[in-house]
Amino acid sequence: MPEEIMENEGEKELIKQGICPVCKAKLRHTEGCIECTNCGWSLCLEA
Ligand SMILES: [Zn+2]
Task: Sort 19 into a burial class: Cβ within 10 Å, 0-12 / 13-18 / 19+.
Answer: middle
Instruction: Please name the helix (run of DSSP H) or strand (run of DSSP E) that holds residue 30, with its range, or none.
Output: strand 27-30
- 17 — pLDDT class (breaks 50, 70, 90): very high
> How far apart are the CA of 2 and the centre of ligand 1, in A?
25
3-state SS, residue 35: strand
Q: State the pTM of this model.
A: 0.73
> How far apart are the CA of 35 and the centre of ligand 1, in A?
8
What's the rounded Cα separation, in Å, for the pair 40 and 24?
A: 12
> From its phi and psi, is residue 34 left (phi > 0), alpha (psi between -120 and 50) or beta?
beta
- pLDDT on residue 45: 77
> How far apart are the CA of 27 and the centre of ligand 1, in A?
7
> How far apart are the CA of 29 and the centre of ligand 1, in A?
13
Instruction: Supply the mean pLDDT for the chain.
Output: 87
